[in-house]
Structure 1
Amino acid sequence: MILIRGNVEKEATAHRDIEKLKNEGFKEVLLAKYEGDKPDTAEKKAIEDMNLKELKKYAEEKGISGATSLSKGQLLEVLKEMV
Structure 2
Amino acid sequence: MNGPVSHKRRFELEKLLKEYGCTAKRTYISTFLDLAEFRRHISHIAWETEVWIAEIPEHMIHFNGERYLGPYEYSDDNFR
TM exceeds 0.5? no
- Structure showing the higher strand proportion among its residues: 1
Query: In terms of Rg, which structure is larger?
Result: 2
Of the two structures, which has the highest relative contact order with CA contacts closer than 8 Å and spacing of 6 or more? 2
* TM-score, length of structure 2 as denominator length: 0.29
- Structure showing the higher helix proportion among its residues: 1
